[in-house]
């Protein structure tokens, strides 16, 4: 399963709850990068170096780190909920190829739709340094340019589950459960 949504849509919160509900691994790209760097893997160290310089990690490095984790988890027979990966069409294509090699497929892509005014409201309540108005606007623009096209990519594969993210955490969670129980095996 893949979680997609704009910054502030609640995808991280929902991913953590769903992983417990479905007893599947929750794999966030940030956690995977930290783990790979701590383990001293080549891709993990390369990503850490780019992070320190404030640069974006190239798709190839992102895919190497994430796919290593996916292979590890699937080899143990665990389902996976991906949060923060893929973020670009290039990453989605590489993920699809890798899953095919593993004889795995994506059961559902949960797309949490949320109004821009609600995004800004939620992020302003968090009070984090990276949630200033300028940073939020930039993160939304990056999402619209790079990640939003994934919704259509996965819609073409008939795996997108649309969720109204403008409601409470519990209401969004219940809607996700109602719409994904059949898809998640």
Give the integer Cα–Cα distance in Å for 5 and 91.
16
88 Cβ contact list (under 8 Å, min separation 6)? 59, 146, 147, 150
State mean pLDDT over 82-92. Answer: 93
Q: What pLDDT does 5 receive?
A: 93
Across 1-5, 76-80, 130-134, least confident range:
130-134
- Asked if the bond preceding 94 is cis, omega within 30° of 0, the reply is no
Q: 131-150: buried (b, 16+ CB within 10 Å) or exposed (e) per residue?
A: beeeebeebbeebeebbeeb
Q: What pLDDT does 52 receive?
A: 67
Query: Is there a contact between 7 and 143 (Cβ–Cβ < 8 Å)?
Result: yes
Q: Is the pLDDT of residue 185 over 60?
A: no
Q: Which of 75, 6, 24 is nearest to 181 (CA)?
A: 24
Give the integer Cα–Cα distance in Å for 68 and 73.
9
Q: What pLDDT does 156 receive?
A: 96
Q: Which domains does the chain have, with CATH numbers?
A: 2-180 (3.40.50.300)
Average pLDDT across the chain, whole number: 88
Give the confidence band of 93 by pLDDT, cuts at 50, 70, 90.
Answer: very high
Encode pLDDT of 34-66 as tens digits: 888 888 888 888 877 776 665 678 898 889 889
Q: What pLDDT does 135 receive?
A: 79
Helices of type H across the chain: 11-22, 29-38, 42-52, 59-75, 89-101, 116-126, 133-142, 149-155, 169-180
State mean pLDDT over 161-170. Answer: 96
**53's tokens:** 């310089």
Q: What pLDDT does 34 receive?
A: 82
């Amino acid at each position: 399963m893949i979680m997609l949504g704009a910054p502030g849509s609640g995808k991280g919160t929902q991913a953590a709850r769903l992983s417990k509900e479905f007893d599947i691994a929750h794999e966030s790209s940030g956690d995977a990068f930290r783990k790979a760097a701590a383990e001293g893997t080549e891709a993990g160290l390369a990503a850490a170096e780019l992070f320190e310089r404030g640069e974006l990690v190239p798709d190839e490095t992102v895919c190497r780190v994430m796919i290593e984790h996916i292979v590890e988890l699937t080899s143990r027979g665990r389902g996976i909920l991906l949060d923060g990966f893929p973020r670009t069409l290039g990453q989605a294509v590489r993920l699809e190829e890798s899953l095919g090699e593993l004889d795995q497929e994506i059961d559902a892509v949960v797309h949490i739709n949320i109004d821009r005014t609600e995004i800004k409201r939620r992020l302003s309540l968090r009070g984090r340094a990276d949630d200033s108005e300028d940073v939020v606007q930039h993160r939304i623009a990056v999402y619209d340019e790079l990640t939003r096209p994934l919704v259509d990519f996965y819609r073409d594969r008939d795996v997108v589950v649309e969720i109204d993210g403008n409601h409470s955490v519990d209401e969004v969670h219940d809607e996700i459960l109602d719409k994904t129980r059949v898809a998640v095996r």
